Structure 1
Amino acid sequence: MSLKIHIDDSAPPYEQVRAQISEQARAGALPTGYRLPTVRGLAESLGLAVNTVAKAYRALEADGVIETRGRNGTYIAAPAATREASTAAQTYAERARRLGLDHDTALATVRDALRAAYGTD
């Protein structure tokens, strides 16, 4: 991860941190699951106050760019569409099991639905 803070920039430092991490995540330079430095560690490496980096991390978390896993650290989150699809897939899997479908039938049903939705053979 490479961040540069420009003191003479009109954007406040926390916004520069937020924007740069967000852009690097969007571009794939910071992949899903990438562990970010601690707030204290990043603040020290950038020469910023801890509260400045904490504010950036809070904004990134509110935007869904990062997720904090308590003492386990802070990570780049999966894109919103991926999270939503994962939730839908989990709901389908649970429903298919409750309906008594075996694994192969449930999977075939999904394949059929994807073929229909994407117009593929």
Structure 2
Amino acid sequence: MHLALSIDKASTTPPFEQLRMQLLAAVQDGRLPAGTRLPTVRGLATELGLAVNTVAGSYRALEKDGVIETRGRAGSFVAETGDPTATQLQLAAHAFAERAGQLGVAPDAAIKAVRAALAHS
């Protein structure tokens, strides 16, 4: 497997985040299908000219979001759990709805707040 990953050292986006976003995009658009074994942390760090901890941090963030899974010495793989973005969006929506209810916010007001936040993001 060869992905065209690259890090823009001049970018204001940290390398950790650039790598995380590129891997997530590759999973979402199917270039990295479920079950695909990812490069080792050391190997990818060497290939991209990054510190091992930078790549490891990107992998940890993707694992936390359910995008990849680590299987011990076998390595890291794209998770079999479906679209991780949809899963994370649903979790966030449920958490928001629960919190809005705790605050006593009417559904229309909560939706208006979300629309305003999305317009400014």
Question: How does the TM-score come out when normalised to structure 1?
Answer: 0.65
1:2 deviation in Å?
Answer: 1.8
Q: Which ranges in structure 1 are unaligned for 5 or more consecutive residues?
A: 85-121
Report what 2:63 is aligned to: 61
Structure 2 Cα separation of the partners of residues 81 and 20 of structure 1? 15
Moved over 4 A (4+): none
Give 1:25's aligned residue: 27
- Given that 1:24 and 1:30 are in contact with CA atoms closer than 8 Å, whether structure 2 keeps it comes out as yes
Larger Rg: 1
Sequence identity, in percent?
55
Could you say which residue in structure 1 is the equivalent of 2:48? 46
Q: Find the aligned partners of 2:56 and 2:76 in 1 and give their Cα distance.
A: 11
Structure 2 CA distance, aligned partners of 1:79 and 1:28?
Answer: 14
SS of residue paired to 1:75: strand
Query: CA offset at residue 81 of structure 1?
Result: 6.2
Superposition map of 1:1-121 within 5 A: 1-80=3-82
CA distance in 2, matches of 1:81, 1:10: 28
Q: Once the two structures are superposed, what CA deviation does each residue of 1:60-117 show, in whole Å capped at 9, x if it has no partner?
A: 00011100000011001124469x9xxxxxxxxxxxxxxxxxxxxxxxxxxxxxxxxx
Q: How many residues align?
A: 83
Change (3 A) 1:32 1:6: same
What residue ranges of structure 2 are gaps of 5+ in the alignment?
Answer: 88-121
